[in-house]
Amino acid sequence: MKTIGLLGGMSWESSIEYERIINTEVRRRLGGVHSADLLVRSYDFAVIEELQEAGDWDVAAQLLADDAAWLEKAGADVIVLATNTMHKVARQIEDAVRIPLLHIADATAEAVQAEGIEAVALLGTRYTMEQDFYRGRLTANDLEVVVPGAADRTFVNDVIFNELVQGRIVEESKQRFLQIIERLHERGAEGVIAGCTEIELLVTPDDMEQPYFPTARIHAMAAVDFALAE
């Protein structure tokens, strides 16, 4: 079994889901009392969020890149960045290590394509929905990406930071999310990417009629595939 180096805590609400999914799936595949071989660097998310808000992406990139290198030195065979938004600095992390970084957008694009979908809605932080570092990775995989209008993007972003990363699950917010998803469906989206790992704490596949792509689960399962590959 290969060792997974997990950069988490952005936020821990979703990072613990990564660990749960990875360990549960390793046990399912190997049986007995098996669990994953994990090295974890978990952050005080307040520090990361302040860097995001201030636009200090170079500082954030250096922080994550240094810690990825530390995980590699400690024995990690692969880096898993347990967040969508911070993949904005994926290139800097890749440049800092010799081991692979499993990119969350690539794993997600593969899952979407496996369903035969060409146009997909993307929900996430405003950085993920509005900037090219994530959308561009999806379009490079021949997917059409549909994002909410400006007011809905603001709402989605606010719920992520003011509720979900703080562990608050609000039913009214869930209903508004489902309304936003329906509008995106009317605009041609055949499925929905939960492009922030906390969103799947609020909206689950059982809430959806359309195909739903929870990125934390997809990413975590890709990590297990890598760890257990021959």
Compute CA distances 25 → 150, 161, 222, whole Å: 38, 29, 11
The count of structural domains within the chain is 2
The pLDDT of residue 14 is: 86
109 and 147 part of one domain: yes
Is residue 120 within 8 A of residue 193, CB to CB? The reply is yes
Determine what percent of the chain falls in helix, strand and coil, rounding each to the nearest 5: 60, 15, 30
CA-CA distance, 208 to 191, in Å (whole number)?
9
What is the predicted pLDDT for the residue at 153?
96
Specify whether 139 is located in the same domain as 201: yes
CA 133 to CA 136: how far, in whole Å?
A: 6
Residues 62 and 159 placed together within one structural domain of the fold: no
Residue 83 designated active-site: yes
Q: Is the same domain home to 160 and 184?
A: yes
Catalytic residue among 85, 125, 128, 196: 196
Same domain, 125 and 81: no
The 10s digit of each residue's pLDDT in 90-138 is 999 999 999 999 999 999 999 999 999 999 999 999 999 999 999 999 9
CA–CA separation, 196 and 212 (whole Å): 13
What does the block give as tokens for 190? 């055949």
Could you tell me the residue range of the domain that residue 160 belongs to? 104-214
What are the residues facing 213 on neighbouring strands? 193
Mean pLDDT of 180-188: 95
Report how far residue 159's alpha carbon sits from residue 215's, in angstroms, rounded to the nearest whole number. 17
Share of the chain above pLDDT 90, in %: 93
Note whether 108 and 208 are same-domain residues: yes
Residue-wise pLDDT for 208-225, tens only, equals 888 999 999 999 999 999
Average pLDDT over residues 19-40: 97
Is there a single domain that holds both residue 61 and residue 112? no
* Active-site choice (83, 85, 197, 215): 83
Share of the chain above pLDDT 70, in %: 100
For residues 120 and 199, membership in a common domain is answered with yes
Give the three-class secondary structure for 32: coil
State whether 110 and 94 are in the same domain.
no
Cα–Cα distance, 171 to 176 (Å, whole number): 9
Residues 6+ apart with CB under 8 A from 9: 15, 41, 42, 43, 44, 45, 48, 82
| Statement to judge: residues 162 and 87 lie in one domain | no
Over residues 42-47, mean pLDDT: 95
Active site residue 125: no
121 and 54 in one domain?
Answer: no
Average pLDDT over residues 67-93: 97
CATH number at residue 45: 3.40.50.1860
User: Residues 163, 197: one domain?
Assistant: yes
Cα 84 from chain centre: 4
Question: Measuring CA to CA, how many Å separate 211 from each of 19, 186, 226?
Answer: 24, 14, 25
